[in-house]
């Protein structure tokens, strides 16, 4: 007979365990994968590569994961070693995107680039599932953690003149930068033009409208500084 009390006790136990992804050792991709990606890039038009990526988008097998990695290397401006791409990831204008080593992109993430934009994601960045990036001018520096469902907006309509429908007015594109080692909480939103300082923490559900200092912990709508991590 199952001892429900002991099972509940275990389920409610607070534990501290060693980080896995953050301490993951870099694994070098085999040379043949890089050669295969180079062959596809040189021999196939972009539209065909995007169609191939769509064929392997939903699978969860080792082969599907490998093909997503190969095709992203063929499509993107740069892809480092040990890229992990979850199912149902969507890329728009991947030719503007750069990924460092040991990057993990969670399932159902969408990265919306722009034909004249730039998206740079540094090494050892973890992106949770269902994230959204309006990656028109976006930089995520190394060791950034990006929570599930968190979003960044890189542009906004001027809304002028006020007599026009807002979606017909000009767009203002502003760069967004998230500094080294920062952590963005689940369902947080980063608005255009914001710089999140190194080692800062953005709380779950926060809406960041202004620059965040290094080591700051912020939360709320709009996000406000709660304390400095160095004071802990």
Tokens 């994601």 — which residue?
121
Burial annotation 75-90 (CB, 10 A radius, 16+ → b, else e) = bbeebbbbbbbbbebe
Helix or strand or coil: residue 138?
Answer: strand
Nearest to 133 by CA among 122, 143, 123, 120: 120
| Contact criterion met (CB below 8 Å) for 133 and 153 | no
pLDDT-derived band at 1, boundaries 50, 70, 90: low
Task: Render 108-129 in DSSP notation, one character per residue.
Answer: T-EEE--TT-EEEE-TT-EE-T
What does the alpha-carbon distance between residue 218 and residue 170 come to, in Å, rounded to a whole number?
31
Nearest to 102 by CA among 183, 32, 24: 24
What's the alpha-carbon Rg for the chain, to the nearest Å? 20
What does the alpha-carbon distance between residue 185 and residue 204 come to, in Å, rounded to a whole number?
4
What does the alpha-carbon distance between residue 146 and residue 184 come to, in Å, rounded to a whole number?
5
118-162 pLDDT, tens per residue? 999 999 999 999 999 999 999 999 999 999 999 999 999 999 999
Residue 106's pLDDT is 97
Residue 5's pLDDT is 60
- Please, what CATH class does the domain formed by 91-232 belong to? mainly beta
| Contact criterion met (CB below 8 Å) for 203 and 212 | no
Higher pLDDT, 105 or 2: 105
Residue 11's pLDDT is 63
What does the alpha-carbon distance between residue 219 and residue 90 come to, in Å, rounded to a whole number?
29
Between CA 76 and CA 81, with CA 79 as vertex, the angle to 5 degrees is 160
pLDDT-derived band at 227, boundaries 50, 70, 90: very high
Quick check: 85 pLDDT over 90? yes
C-alpha 224: how far from chain center: 23
Residue 10's pLDDT is 59
Q: Cα separations (Å) of 135 from 28, 151, 159, 199, 232?
A: 27, 10, 21, 21, 34
Average pLDDT, the chain: 94
Residue 13's pLDDT is 82
Cβ atoms within 10 Å, residue 115: 9
pLDDT-derived band at 41, boundaries 50, 70, 90: very high
pTM reported for the whole predicted model: 0.90
Average pLDDT (150-175) is 94
Domain range summary for the chain, segments of one domain joined by +? 27-75, 91-232
């Amino acid at each position: 007979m199952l001892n429900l009390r002991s099972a509940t006790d275990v389920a409610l136990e607070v534990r501290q365990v060693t980080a896995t992804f953050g301490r993951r050792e870099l694994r070098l991709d085999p040379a043949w994968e890089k050669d295969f990606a180079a062959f596809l890039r040189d021999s196939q038009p972009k539209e065909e590569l995007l169609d191939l990526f769509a064929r392997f988008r939903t699978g969860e097998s080792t082969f599907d994961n490998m093909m997503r990695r190969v095709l992203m290397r063929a499509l993107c401006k740069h892809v480092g070693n040990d890229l992990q791409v979850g199912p149902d990831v969507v890329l728009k204008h991947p030719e503007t995107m750069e990924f460092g080593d040991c990057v993990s992109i969670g399932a159902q993430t969408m990265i919306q680039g722009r034909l004249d934009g730039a998206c740079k994601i540094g090494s050892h960045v973890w992106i949770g599932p269902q994230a959204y990036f309006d990656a028109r001018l976006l930089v995520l520096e190394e060791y950034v953690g990006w929570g599930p469902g968190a979003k960044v907006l890189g542009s906004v309509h001027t809304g002028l003149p006020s007599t026009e429908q807002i979606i017909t007015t000009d767009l203002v594109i502003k760069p967004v930068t998230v500094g080294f080692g920062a952590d963005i909480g689940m369902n947080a939103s980063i608005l255009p033009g914001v710089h999140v300082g190194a080692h800062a923490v953005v709380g779950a559900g926060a809406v960041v409208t202004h620059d965040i200092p290094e080591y700051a912990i912020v939360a709320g709508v709009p996000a406000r500084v709660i304390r400095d991590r160095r004071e802990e």
